[in-house]
């Protein structure tokens, strides 16, 4: 079997967190309308037919007309389409943004050397100011003395 074709297993907690964001009404299942809204976030031109096809792929038990967490996990784990890739990309980008915003304590849109040192200290690293500057300079592609979100 070609190793490139094997999709790595998704962590259940990641899929569950994505599921919670799509399950807007919090009833423990994704309705067709919630699935439709999710799909249209990535493809405004998605037809109702395409949405129904994807929904039916996810809804293993078609008698209930809803996608449970287990069904969603199965769909995410086995689907080979751009929707799953986009869901994962969005989730991890949002997670990275939350971490970035926590580190950017002065809220200027970038992580400076002092904020970088605070993070290192919180992680148990004992960086000198000079070491923090070296790390910042390595990451700071546009050389503005800040690590911007895209560089992060």
The domains of the chain are located at 9-94, 104-148
Q: In CATH, what class is 9-94? A: mainly alpha
Fold type of domain 104-148: Recoverin; domain 1 (1.10.238)
C-beta neighbour count of 53 within 10 angstroms = 10
Residue 88, burial from CB neighbour count under 10 angstroms (0-12, 13-18, 19+): middle
Instruction: Kindly state the average pLDDT of the residues 114-139.
Output: 94
Average pLDDT of the chain is 89
Question: Backbone phi, then psi, for 67, in 5-degree steps?
Answer: -105, 115
pTM over 0.95? The answer is: no
Residue 42: predicted pLDDT: 77
C-beta neighbour count of 51 within 10 angstroms = 19
- Bigger pLDDT: 43 vs 50: 50
> In this structure, is the dihedral angle defined by the CA atoms of residues 98, 103, 108 and 109, taken in order, positive or negative?
negative
Cα–Cα nearest to 28, from 40, 13, 14, 16 = 16
Q: Which residues pair with 148 in a beta bridge?
A: 110
Report the distance separating Cα 30 and Cα 27, nearest Å.
8
């Amino acid at each position: 079997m070609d190793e490139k074709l094997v999709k790595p297993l998704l962590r259940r907690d990641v899929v569950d967190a994505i599921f919670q964001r799509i399950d807007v009404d919090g009833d423990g299942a994704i309705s067709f309308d919630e699935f439709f809204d999710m799909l249209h976030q990535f493809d405004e031109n998605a037809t109702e037919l395409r949405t129904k096809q994807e929904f039916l792929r996810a809804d293993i038990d078609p008698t209930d007309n809803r996608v449970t967490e287990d069904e969603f996990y199965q769909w995410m784990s086995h689907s080979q389409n751009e929707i799953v890739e986009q869901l994962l990309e969005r989730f991890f980008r949002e997670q990275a943004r939350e971490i970035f915003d926590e580190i950017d304590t002065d809220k200027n849109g970038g992580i400076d050397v002092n904020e970088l040192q605070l993070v290192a200290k919180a992680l148990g690293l004992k960086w000198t100011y000079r070491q923090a500057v070296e790390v910042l300079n390595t990451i700071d592609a546009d050389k503005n003395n800040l690590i911007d979100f895209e560089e992060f």
